[in-house]
A and B are shown apart, each in its own frame.
Chain A
Amino acid sequence: MLLKEIQVGIDVGGTFTDAVLLEDNRIVEKAKIATQAENVLGTVLHALDELKVYHKVVTRITVSTTLITNAILQQRLPQVDLLLFPGSGMSLKALKWPVPYQVLKGELDYRGREVSSPDELEWRRLLNRYQEFPGSKVAIVGKFSHRNSLHEENLAFYLQKHCPDLEICLGHEWGQANFYRRSLTTYLNLACEEVYQTFAHQLQQAVFQKGSSAKIHVLKADGGVVPLQTLRPVESIYSGPAASILGALAQTNTGPDFDSETDQSFVVVDIGGTTTDIGLILSGEPLMSAYGAKIGDFSTLVRTLAVRSIAAGGDSTILSEGDGFRIETYRRGPAYCLGGPAPTPTDAMCYLNLIPFGDRLKAEQGLVQLLPECKRDSFNLERLSNEILARFADNIAQAIESIIREWREEPAYKVWEVLHPHEEQNMFIEVSGGGAPGLVKALSMRLNSPVKIGDFPEVSNAIGAALARPTFSCTLHLDTFMKRYQIEETGLQGEWLGSRKPHKEIEEFLREIAEKSARDQGIELKKPKIQPFDYFPIVKGYQTVGQIIQGSLIVSPGVRGRLKS
């Protein structure tokens, strides 16, 4: 008999934590508990208990947490020294740096050639400082280091030789172009390392001590999962919205074949307590953002799904304003109909009998506070409730329009791309989250498209986490004239020994690097796609002397089969 696949998904949200235990994609246990904001580990362990995880042979536990997001937003990060080799070009002051930095001499150009070398005297002065603070955290980032890590590596080697306890991170490991974002990403990742490692270690210990041998995975902003140990901490920001998008994907109906991939296109709307996340699924694949994630004042290179978050949810406080009302961006507690202190959109849903929970009488008491005394009758209460939901739906609709615009207006750099633009698609809306049933009507009226709702809207995020697949991406940049290659995602750099004008062998070269990199990260490559290579002949004096070749191998975000009902 084949062993059952038992998958656990936990999504630690700002207000609530959702958790599910699936057996062969069927829900067996589910739980929704309050998040302890100051104790993410405790919350996760509590959720595991609720699911009775330790009575089963669990294959895999996937966690999506706000641990790193909160650490960054609440500025609870340790000090990191940011050392930069900015060379010439745009003034550093043109962009806003949320953290201090120190500028060093030494410059590379866009193909990684050295323009000027670093200054030894500067390095010696640095060393003097670090001999006083030998446990410092140091992020070293050079402009164009993604083309040549020479200056970064040399400085790290020099410092480490004399101060072996320094914790050093290098920028080229975030190998996409963008010096500014690379600097801030390197900084953040190093700053988050400690808080993440502590969490990861304790979680692993706790699960192990209870006798479970389940593999623990973490969900990333791009909707992929990686083993707990190989995660780069900063990549776990915004995993919540990713979980909701995957949760919706796992609940789309593909007919009797639960393993088949959906090719549908739709908008995902996940209504939380104080935020609503909106994402896009195109022909069965979640849309990736063309830009890195931005968190607080930090613009990063972290790959992320394209998501819009609006500051309104089922528990958002509603205040009266003049003759009308205003939906605030904060929550004062649960909805009035659930014993909370202030009226909320959930009360409007409850009053209109759209959701199966809440005390309707209390909802009425809450909502009536928003009406002038002369208008406190059932006619006006119903109108007010509808208006609240219509306004909420309108906020969501605007975010949907904005994300669709972003997709349509993605930059294009090739003739082919401009001649084959994204086609209009008939999209439906899939809503999830506790308040999902309450918004179906208002959304379908505002957007004039069908609105669907999954079978388990209240634990949709946990389902997404439980069923998320690994994502993978390996992008090669090869300059056969310089005889050098670089890999964007890992910062791997090496010497190219092949021909100046390679052709077929380049695909094999990329595949080998990708497979090794996947092994190192503990990721199984399932259905990798190689995207068409771009070839740029390098010409000198009317002779083709080499090529710059770019191409990538990717595994898009997705889910392991559908959820069975």
Chain B
Amino acid sequence: MKRSGIVFFPAFDWSLGDTHPEREERLLYTQEQLFEEGVMELPQVKQYSPGLASLHEVLRTQALFPHPDKHDLAAHLIAAGCAIVLGDAWAHNEIQNGFALVRPPGHHSGATVLGNRGFCTINNEAILINHLRTKYGIKKIAVVDTDVHHGDGTQDIFFHDPNVLFISLHQDGRTLYPGSGFTHEKGGPNAWDTTLNIPLPPGTGDEGIHYVLENWVLPRVRDFKPDLIINSAGQDNHFTDPLAAMNVTARGYGKITELIRPDLAVLEGGYSIETALPYVNLAIFLALAGEDYHQVIEPQKPQRQLLNFQELKRYIKELKINNKQANPHWTTREEKSLPGGKWAFIPHSVYYDTDGIQEIRQDRVRMCEHCGGTVLIESQNAYAGEKFALIRIPFNACKECRQAGEDLWGAFIGRKTSVLFQDQVHDSIQLWNVQEGVRNF
């Protein structure tokens, strides 16, 4: 039995469109199931009321361009706010673990935000993590993303952060959105090997995913010695998911939760709203609360074929080798326009499927042996042409990197449509744009 907190926020008056998967109905049957089972009656369970994240909380972690006002944020701020409510309860030791059973999701939303992608506008877990680091000085955090899609947004936000271990298990990006999350994506130069991607083949199933957790993910988490473990608990690995094909059951999810033992779990995707969500959510929460989840049985039975377990083991073995052998893929150069030191240069692009935006990104991080390194991200909306910049002085930044960040901020004001300065050391967030000049958030 574990003291467990839950925030249930189904956003019953909000959707991304009438027939959109992210609609009012999504958690309705989950509510029916949880309330009828009486999980809130469990003596160890405490239900918390939703919160509302401030823009300061959001901008500390993500740059919303051209301006936060240009995004429709209300529901997203509540989802992030709910995660924070549970985070605070955890930090105050009111609960041993918690489940933010909220929509909309967040794990496809990255360091820069030009719009909604994969139904996500802001990243609930990342905002939660940086809140807990700022407010309570939590040092090391592990994120295990068990959504069937690659948690590319979370990866993007913590790619250069040596104190956040990000592990994503997902269906191989060659067969599923967002098409990333390969074994060679292992983190930036100052955070090498703190990103781990495990792309799994369709048909992996309960046994397969538990094997991967026990033999790869959990040892990595243990070695990292995190102060906090977060589970991005997407539910689209379920065997009834219409898009993915991972063949995991509700009980399989219960075991996943039991194995990861997250301090905080946050709902991500999962759109099989009738046949999966009511059961998977129940199993996850029972597992968190230390109750028996083996009686959670969906009415349907798996139809798809399971991958042969021995074959899967061989596949994982190969993945491990690929992961080990993967080499850094950035170029380093000294640029006259940048403050002193070596800067790694990583250009890439991001597609916002919901809003149809193509973002061209030029990421730079100051190579540093003492800290995560100051980050400069130049972003451009490929169609509209607007240009933006994010300058981030990371938590625990060394003196040189702090100076580099200050210098960049001074230099970039006026050169873009908008520029965001995230000073995570001093928890100071400033946004410059043409209309408003500099504004503190």
Contact = CB atoms under 8 A, between A and B. Distances in A.
Contact of B49 (A144, A146, A410, A539): A410
B137 interface: no
B52 A90 contact: no
Contact of B296 (A90, A143, A181, A416): A90
B13 interface: yes
Given A416-B13, A534-B12, A539 B25 contact: yes
A90 B75 contact: no
Contacts of B337: none
A95 B25 contact: no
A12 B37 CA distance: 37
Nearest to B35: A177
Interface stretch (A107-115, A186-194, A237-245, A465-473): A107-115
A109 B52 CA distance: 33
A415 B78 contact: yes
Looking at chain B, what size class is its interface with the partner chain? 35 or more
A536 B291 CA distance: 31
B18 A88 contact: no
B25 A415 contact: no
B23 A411 contact: no
Interface residues of A, number: 43
Nearest to A92: B295
A497 interface: no
Contacts, number: 118
A95 B13 contact: no
Contacts of A414: 11-14
Contacts of B35: 177-178
Contact of B299 (A93, A109, A408, A548): A109
Nearest to A115: B299
Interface in A523-538: 534-538
Contacts of A448: none
Given A90-B296, A412-B49, A537-B24, A544 B18 contact: yes
A534 B13 CA distance: 8
Contacts of B51: 418
Contacts of B49: 408-412
Nearest to B6: A411
A95 B42 contact: yes
B47 A299 contact: no
Given A88-B297, A90-B295, A413 B33 contact: no
Nearest to A411: B49
A426 interface: no
Nearest to A534: B12
A413 B9 contact: yes
B282 A89 contact: yes
30 contacts: A90-B37, A90-B39, A90-B291, A90-B292, A93-B292, A94-B291, A95-B41, A110-B29, A110-B36, A111-B29, A111-B32, A178-B36, A178-B41, A179-B38, A181-B38, A409-B49, A410-B49, A412-B50, A413-B10, A413-B11, A414-B12, A415-B14, A535-B24, A536-B12, A536-B24, A537-B18, A537-B23, A538-B25, A539-B25, A543-B19
Interface of A: 88-91, 93-96, 109-111, 115, 143-144, 146-147, 177-181, 299, 408-416, 418-419, 534-539, 542-544, 548
Given A299-B41, A411-B50, A415-B74, 20 more contacts: A88-B295, A88-B296, A89-B37, A89-B282, A90-B291, A91-B291, A115-B299, A177-B32, A178-B38, A409-B49, A411-B49, A412-B9, A414-B12, A414-B13, A415-B13, A418-B9, A418-B52, A542-B19, A548-B25, A548-B28
Interface of B: 8-14, 18-19, 23-25, 28-29, 31-33, 35-39, 41-43, 47-52, 74-75, 78, 81, 278, 282, 286, 291-292, 295-297, 299
